[in-house]
Chain A
Amino acid sequence: MTDIIQILILGLALGGVIALMGSGLALVFGVMRIVNLAHPSLIIAGAYIAYWGAKLTGIDPIVMLPVAAAIMAGIGVLMYRLVFEREARNAKYSEMTVLLTFALAMIVEGVLGGLFTNTQRVTSPGYATDAFFLGDLFIPKGQLYAGLISLVIIGALSLFLKYSRLGYAIRATTQNREAAELLGVNVNLISVLAFAIGIGLAGAAGSLVSFVFSFFPAKHWEWIAMLMSVVVLGGMGSILGTVVAALLLSVIAAFVGTWVGATWSTMTFFLALFVILLIRPQGLFGEKPEMA
């Protein structure tokens, strides 16, 4: 029994981080129908910001989180203006963005490799290797903090989307772009803003990831399937769905990892993506498949 609770705790903590990693992807898809395959590589860029902040100035990666988020949000604005805005009128927009973001992912990886080499990195604040002990249970502090902070950020994002005027505009644009425009929403501005928030979330996730996983520029390929399965299961664009899916899949992966074998743990996400697309392509919270 203790075993099961132990695995559950580890799965949930990691699931929180994965939820944050996926939430930016979900937001960007929801509002702009951009399938951003470059999202994981941008998380790695965020992780490098936290890493160098810690290495050069000794700043804690959690303290670096808002900095990484702001820098990445700025990069998001540039990316949107340079790459996506001009494609926005293309009828095959969603399909186009798959190719575009695939290329972007390779570019980001190349730039990071050129700047920082392919050495594995990890930030190591004291808590990253520390743990709480509750009787027989042990809770690694790094994963716990990262998971909790992720859920707090997602909670704040949800409140923002639910109650603020900009949040209304973002949700309205997601659900019916034309109607939003007709009611006076500046949908282009909202698109840039949502994209910036999405990439900012990649930066935030990156700072947390920097002490939860070791990383290097090409690591993002491992995360794409993981994040895609979370976002697809969550219903392509639903933030709440993404969180539920991340927690669920992460817990399953934790059990698989313990009882079947560590290699199979990552396979959980690949298999899940495959199975979801076959039997319930609209995910947990989505409606009929509307990806075309």
Chain B
Amino acid sequence: MSELLQVTNITAGYGDGPAILDGAHLTVEPGKVHCIIGPNGAGKSTLLKAICGMLTIRKGDVVFKGKRLNGLRPDQILRAGICFVPQERALFPKMTVRENLRMGGFVLDDQRELERRIGEILERFPILKERADQQAGTMSGGQQQTLAMARTLIIKPDIVMLDEPSLGLAPKVVQEMFDIMKMMSAEGVTVLLVEQNALIGLKNSDWGVVLDLGRTLFEGPASTVLSDPRIQELYLGGKKAA
């Protein structure tokens, strides 16, 4: 197995607060779509924040392409090739679509190259090209999420992490978002996403990770996780899977 990112038994929390993650692990293989599921408050968002450098990792390792990422700042991890789209408000609402894309390449030094890549993205996503000079905050939820995902591609990352990209979107639009993710992974961008709706998430992914109470219960091929009786059990409690 040739993993791209390996998270082993990490402990992490906010500031000096209690450990929210304790014993979380996961394996990310290149070019696949990975889905983290688990009940509300399980620590899914916290796990992504720990990987991208927003939280200090107290114990355990995050290894990416053979290098430890522990202790690096978010911008260093971004430059290394991991891009994180946080839940809900990932955009700059009063900037135009084009300005948002430009911010996506903030770490690029070559401005001509940046403009060239923005042009490429706009060609690939006609809906964004149509609205290139419109304020991002005035677009529909699906369009905003499309922009947030498209924006990650500007720096040609290895891994894109998405925190609940389907939140608040109509079912039809949710499927469009997953189609974009599949397209990204087909082009070699590895996707790691968090999804509240386990059923939809796993159906659209290659790999599943089940997180509860800050630790990984198990991970494996999405189809295996989907048919695992423990999943049914986990979701029979408070939250239904679909």
Binding site for B on A (CB under 8 A): 89, 165, 168-169, 171-172, 175-176, 178-186
Contact = CB atoms under 8 A, between A and B. Distances in A.
Contact of A183 (B78, B89, B93, B94): B78
Contact of A172 (B15, B74, B95): B95
Contacts of A175: 92-95
A183 B95 contact: no
B91 A169 contact: no
Given A168-B99, A176-B93, A183 B106 contact: yes
A183 B53 CA distance: 12
Contacts of A178: 86, 89
A172 B96 CA distance: 11
Interface in B70-122: 74-75, 78-79, 83-84, 86, 89-95, 99, 102-104, 106-107
Taking chain B's interface residues, is the majority helix, strand, or loop, or is none over half, making it mixed?
A: loop
B89 A184 contact: no
Contacts of A165: 106
Point out which of B86, B90, B92, B102 has the most chain A C-beta atoms below 10 A from its C-beta: B92
Given A172-B103, A185-B106, A186-B75, A179 B92 contact: yes
Interface residues of B, number: 23
A186 to B, nearest CB: 7
A53 B83 CA distance: 52
Contacts of B102: 168
Nearest to A178: B86
A184 B102 CA distance: 12
Contact of A182 (B15, B74, B79, B99): B74
A183 B99 contact: no
Contacts, number: 56
Point out which of B52, B75, B83, B106 has the most chain A C-beta atoms below 10 A from its C-beta: B106
A182 B89 contact: no
Given A175-B93, A176-B91, A183 B107 contact: yes
Contacts of A185: 75, 106
Contacts of A171: 92, 94-95
Nearest to B136: A175
Given A182-B83, A183-B78, 18 more contacts: A165-B106, A169-B106, A172-B106, A175-B93, A176-B93, A179-B89, A179-B92, A180-B92, A181-B75, A182-B52, A182-B74, A182-B84, A183-B103, A183-B106, A184-B78, A184-B106, A185-B75, A185-B106
A198 B33 CA distance: 45
Contacts of B89: 176, 178-179
A184 B95 CA distance: 17
Interface string B144-172: 00000000000000000000000000000
B162 to A, nearest CB: 12
A171 B83 CA distance: 21
A184 B75 contact: yes
B72 to A, nearest CB: 12
A184 B93 contact: no
Contacts of A186: 75
A183 B95 CA distance: 15
A172 B92 contact: yes
Nearest to A171: B95
Contacts of A180: 92, 103
Nearest to A181: B74
B78 A179 contact: no
A186 B15 CA distance: 19
Given A168-B99, A178-B86, A183 B104 contact: yes
14 contacts: A168-B103, A171-B95, A172-B95, A176-B90, A179-B89, A179-B92, A180-B92, A182-B74, A183-B78, A183-B103, A183-B104, A184-B75, A184-B107, A185-B106
A89 B15 CA distance: 10
A51 B90 CA distance: 47
A169 B106 CA distance: 8
A175 B54 CA distance: 19
B189 to A, nearest CB: 17
Given A168-B103, A171-B95, A184-B107, A179 B90 contact: yes
